[in-house]
Chains A and B, each alone.
Chain A
Amino acid sequence: MIIFASIRLALRALRRNLLRTLLTMLGIIIGVAAVISVVSIGNGAKKQVEAQIATLGQNVILVLSGNVTRGGFSMGFGTAGTLTQPDLEAIRKEVEGVVGASPEVRANSQLAYGNQNANVQVSGVSADYLDIRAWPLKSGDNFTEQDVRGATKVAIIGQTTRKTLFGDGDAVGQTIRIKNAPFVIVGELAPKGMNMMGSDQDDIVLVPFSSALKRLAGGTSFRSISVQAADAKLLPGVQHDIDDLLRQRHKIQEGRDPDFLIRTQQEISNLATSTSRVLTVLLGSVAGVSLVVGGIGIMNIMLVSVTERTREIGVRLAIGARTRDIMMQFLFEAIALSVIGGVIGIGLGAWVSGQLSGVMGSPTVVAANSILIAFGSSALIGIVFGYFPALKAARLDPIEALRFE
């Protein structure tokens, strides 16, 4: 008997008991839909994190100050400032392959323009910060090396802060007060959106780090330095050289923990995605278990069906069906159950993840490979859980099957 005939036979048998067929499929439908939507949430989160990591800039290495325990890296950075301006200059001059380096000095500061007030994160950076982070200006200009050297009171303003202070008005050329010191706005940043922690990166004011140290934060140290390498291939070398350089400069003995931490983008992204990956795997396996439960449901119904149709099997055997023919008939029935259930489940899962993305306000991505895997695994479940009932049917003795009441 040809395969096509087996499939037709299977579909006809399933149509004959439509309600039972649908109920049996339900397990697979729910299982596949659960897998698809869970994985799509995971994929969406990963995509989002990757996109945000990319906003850090290209080929960037982050040097963080402070005694941060290994593996316990928090995105809040260490507090003790151990990185200094000489460190920055040394990295710029002595490490090969470095095209830019900018420190970051943070100060949460009160801003005022006219009668508008805002409490905003003010970051002290160097002139190449915008290049490193690939952050274009919307209007105006960047501040210069001179501004940094002279600790000039100039500022670049992010879109959100601009809206708070100026509404729809123009910001460039205006003077705002940061902790009561007047700063002239020279440029306006293009919008960047949220970072991976979900905070608004556009609610920011950039000033020369020298001005930030002098007028806003106090002290002489940086919480971090972003270093940009000329090429991705140079990153490991640059990372290693910075490590050597800073250990030497900070007089860290061999084998001791340094008072700084170097992170590449890849490491940051790995850290950020690992949590969501663990969660995805966990939820995915729960969903996978429900798939197996669906498979057991199919096996159960197929066994009932084989018993119910013992006489039919007897007739088929009597008129010349081979063992394989009967085997195929019932196996295809189980596969049809699980594959049709799987396809419906994929559709349902895609729909659910669309809804979830709306509810959670974060993107979900139904990837082609998760559809393929869901399809393949439902077919596999049909084969695995349909095999035993089909074998039972195929091994029936024709005489006994014909006599079955």
Chain B
Amino acid sequence: MTPIIELRDFKKTYKTGEIEVHAVRGVNLTVAAGEFVAVMGASGSGKSTLMNTIGCLDRPTSGAYLLDGVNIGRLERDDLADLRNQKIGFVFQGFNLLSRTSASENVELPMLYRRPAIPARDQRRRALEALTKVGLGQRGDHTPNQLSGGQQQRVAIARALVNHPKLLLADEPTGNLDSRTSIEIMGIFQELNQMGMTIVMVTHELDVARFAKRMVIMRDGRVVTDQAVEGMSIAQVELARLDAEQKAVNLAP
């Protein structure tokens, strides 16, 4: 079976004037359908650069990247846009929802750019479905500033899922969230992964990375560790533990 992601000696070099920054210096990475990968590493190690390429937001300086068997090195800007629209769902650290725009309209956004066009009625129905999947079926009319951080990230996840992508990419999805909501978001990721969604996520926290099945660690633009997660965390279990801990100090009822 074709892997979803196949990077062959992927390099990315940024040129700012005279200075060349080697953000990624040769990465070979294959991710098969149904995997849940956590990418870790120190700041500046090239994680975001790697994710941007995987997400077809950028092209490799050298090496090849095959997304679902398609070499994106040869594609034009608009072809990449179509590919992102159809195959990839993005979840960002800062949620990046459109302000003063309702949750359901935010979720509808990727369908606006879908070709061929989706009828308006189907758009509304699918947005509601996606919101229900992340537990926000009742909050479709709320705007981002009426929602908590965790709820905003759920809306962002619903937006990422609405076009039924093959790959879910998340760059520090829990970066702005407290530990409880982080676990809840990881719970959603694990649930999606169980249903077959391939997920690649960048995180700084080992606790968060432990919800994934596989861990890739980068240093100075190279992969230094690539291994299965031993003793993978289960969201429900972690939540129960957190509840117990919080009850002990009267933080939770």
Q: Does B109 interact with chain A (Cβ within 8 Å)? A: yes
**Contact at B96–A315, with CB atoms within 8 Å?**
yes
Q: Are B57 and A398 in contact (CB under 8 A)?
A: yes
Q: Which of B79-87, B174-182, B207-215, B227-235 contacts A (4 or more CB under 8 A)?
A: B79-87
Secondary structure at the A interface, as helix, strand, loop or mixed, is: helix
A402 to B117, CA, bound (A): 25
Chain A nearest Cβ from B201, distance in angstroms: 16
Given A318-B55, A318-B90, A319-B85: A1 and B96 within 8 A (CB)?
Answer: no
Question: Which of B58, B84, B86, B112 has the most chain A CB within a 10 Å cutoff?
Answer: B112
Chain A residues, Cβ within 8 Å of B109? 315-316, 319
A residues near B114, Cβ cutoff 8 Å: 320
Pick from A5, A318, A320, A322 the residue with the most CB of B within 10 Å: A320
**CB-CB under 8 A for A320 and B110, given A2-B117, A399-B57, A399-B58:** yes
Q: Mark A318-341, 1 if CB is under 8 A from B, else 0.
A: 111111110000000000000000
Contact of A319 among B58, B77, B117, B159 (CB under 8 A): B159
How many A-B Cβ pairs are below 8 Å? 56
A398 (CB) vs chain B CBs: closest residue: B57
B78 touches A319 (CB 8 A): no
Given that A1-B113, A318-B90, A402-B96 are known contacts, is A323 also in contact with B57, CB under 8 Å in the complex?
no
Q: How far is the CA of A322 from the CA of B113 in the complex (A)?
A: 8
Q: A318 near B57 (CB under 8 angstroms)? A: yes
- Per-position binary interface string of chain B over residues 157-173, scored 1 when its CB falls under 8 Å from any chain A CB and 0 otherwise: 00100010000000000
Docked-complex contact B117 and A320, CB < 8 angstroms: no
Task: State whether the Cβ of A312 lies closer than 8 Å to any Cβ in chain B.
Answer: yes
| Shortest distance between the CB of B49 and any CB in chain A (Å) | 9
Q: Does B36 belong to the interface (CB within 8 Å)?
A: no
CB-based contact A402/B86 at 8 Å: no
Q: Mark B96-115, 1 if CB is under 8 A from A, else 0.
A: 10101000000001101110
Is B92 on the interface with A (CB-CB < 8 A)?
Answer: yes
Q: Is B193's CB within 8 Å of the partner chain A?
A: no
Contact code string A9-24 (vs B, CB < 8 Å = 1, else 0): 0000000100000000
**B132: Cβ under 8 A from any A Cβ:** no
Q: Quick check: B113 and A319 within 8 Å, CB to CB?
A: yes
Are A317 and B112 interface neighbours, CB within 8 A?
A: no
Question: Is the CB–CB distance between B98 and A315 below 8 Å?
Answer: yes
The total of chain B residues at the interface (CB under 8 A) is 24
- A314 on interface, CB distance cutoff 8 Å: yes
| A379-405 Cβ-contact flags toward B at 8 Å (1 or 0) | 000000000000000000011001000
Contact of A311 with B by CB under 8 A: yes
Q: How far in angstroms is the closest Cβ of chain A from B76?
A: 10
Q: Is the Cβ of A311 less than 8 Å from the Cβ of B96?
A: yes
B residues in contact with A323, CB < 8 Å: 77-78, 81
Q: Which residue of A lies closest to B49 (CB)?
A: A399
Chain B residue nearest to A16 in the complex (CB): B100
Q: Per a CB cutoff under 8 Å, which of A16, A319, A321, A325 touches B90?
A: A319
Give the residues in chain A near B58, CB-CB below 8 Å: 399
* B82 and A322 contact, CB distance less than 8 A: yes
Look across to chain B and name the residue whose beta carbon is closest to the beta carbon of A314. Answer: B96
Known A2-B117, A325-B113; contact A320-B96, beta-carbon cutoff 8 A: no
Which residues 13-41 in B have Cβ within 8 Å of A in the complex? none
CA distance A319 to B169 in the complex (A): 12
Contact A321 B117 (CB under 8 A): no
CB contact between A399 and one of B52, B81, B85 (< 8 Å): that residue: B52
4 shortest interchain CB distances as A-B pairs: A320-B85, A319-B110, A320-B113, A322-B78
Residues of chain B touching chain A, judged by Cβ–Cβ distance below 8 Å, are 52, 55, 57-58, 77-78, 81-82, 84-86, 90, 92, 96, 98, 100, 109-110, 112-114, 117, 159, 163
Other A-B pairs, 7, CB within 8 Å; known A316-B113, A320-B84: A315-B109, A319-B110, A320-B82, A320-B110, A321-B113, A322-B78, A398-B57
A-B contact pairs, 19 of them (CB 8 A): A5-B112, A318-B55, A318-B57, A318-B84, A318-B90, A319-B85, A319-B90, A319-B113, A319-B159, A320-B84, A320-B85, A321-B81, A321-B113, A322-B78, A322-B113, A323-B78, A398-B57, A399-B52, A402-B92
